[in-house]
Structures are given as structure tokens and as C-alpha cells.
Amino acid sequence: MEIKDLKPENLEKASGMLKALAHPARISIVGCLEDGRSRTVSEIQRLVGIEQATASHHLGIMKDKGILGSRREGKNTYYFLKNDNLLTFLSCLGECCQ
């Protein structure tokens, strides 16, 4: 599918996802999840090197925009990427920044 063929509501969703990714910490969080493993907020905050409250804030934004999914296990919430195609996009973006 080409971009010109996207419906207006899909363009809005794509725009929201791009805005949600437009932060270094959020891109780093996606990097923590690129191996396909689900991780808790504590694991993510430790890997990215940010405060837990900050990690939770960023995770909430990305979950709201459909980038991440989550599941509860006991007292822990595990976050994961909802679509692996996002990794291809970020890889291409990384190549453009070299």
C-alpha cells in the first residue's frame, strides 16, 4: 500500500504514532523491546537509564498510540511491541541519521 492510498483516519493514526515516537527516551524504549521480549517498567527504566515515573509516562503515551501493548501478571505489567514493522521503520530512520 502506498501512502497516497491511506484513508484520512489511517493518516491520523500514523501521525499520532510518529509524534509518540518523537522523543529519544521513547526510541530507546522501543530498542529495549526489539528482541521480542516483554519487559516490566522496572526493567525498561533500568535499561534506558531514566526514572521509573518517567518510564511509566513514556510507556503510557506509546501504549495510547498503539505502539505498545501490555499484559498483567500478578503485580507486574509487561510491555511489548505491537507491530514488528515498527522496527524496520526505525532501522531505516537510523540509517538516514548516519
Per-residue pLDDT reduced to its tens digit, 35-86: 999 999 999 999 999 999 999 999 999 999 999 999 999 999 999 999 888 8
pLDDT of 98 > 80? The answer is no
Integer Cα distance of 94 and 4 in angstroms:
24
More confident residue, 96 or 45: 45
More confident residue, 30 or 97: 30
Q: Tell me, which fold does domain 3-96 have in CATH? A: Arc Repressor Mutant, subunit A (1.10.10)
- pLDDT the model gives residue 6: 79
Assigned C-alpha cell, 43: 526493567
pTM score of the predicted model: 0.86
- pLDDT the model gives residue 1: 62
Q: Where are the domains of the chain?
A: 3-96
Task: Report the side by side order of strands in the sheet with 76-81.
Answer: 39-40, 76-81, 68-73
Integer Cα distance of 65 and 85 in angstroms:
15
Integer Cα distance of 29 and 26 in angstroms:
5
Integer Cα distance of 30 and 95 in angstroms:
16
